[in-house]
Amino acid sequence: MTDLAPAAPPEPPYYAVVFTSVRTDGDNGYGERAAEMVRLAAEQPGFLGVDSARGSDGLGITVSYWRDEESIRAWRDHVAHAVTRAEGRARWYQSFAVHVAKVERAYDFQRQAD
């Protein structure tokens, strides 16, 4: 069995920010900055977790989970995050979309060891 698992936010309601992006060619420092942003987000009040995946075609989906909209706004307005977003537009993304949703129901599954 692997330690790899989806984020485990608390019982709903909470919020999900879905960031879907298409990357430009090359890493250009993206991987290091993305890891830095996850570490920084995890320190923010209201942060509940994150799930992220990127295909070999460059399409990526990152979902961050937050306690409330105030926490989401505070992260959006965080200085280091704002600088990184600007750099993303200039260097790392061909396109992206952001969707903010209130999670009202959630469930999960985990296979038990045999």
16-35 mean pLDDT: 93
Distances (CA, A) of 8 to 32, 33, 58, 80, 85: 24, 24, 26, 26, 26
Q: At residue 3, does pLDDT exceed 70?
A: no
Q: pLDDT digits over 88-110, tens only? A: 999 999 999 999 999 999 999 98
What is the pLDDT at residue 1? 42
Structural tokens at position 19: 């960031």
Over residues 28-32, mean pLDDT? 90
Tokens 């200039």, located at residue = 90
The pLDDT of residue 45: 97
What pLDDT is recorded for position 26?
A: 86
Bridge partners of 54, per DSSP, are 60
Dump pLDDT digits (tens) for 45-89.
999 999 999 998 889 999 999 999 999 999 999 999 999 999 999
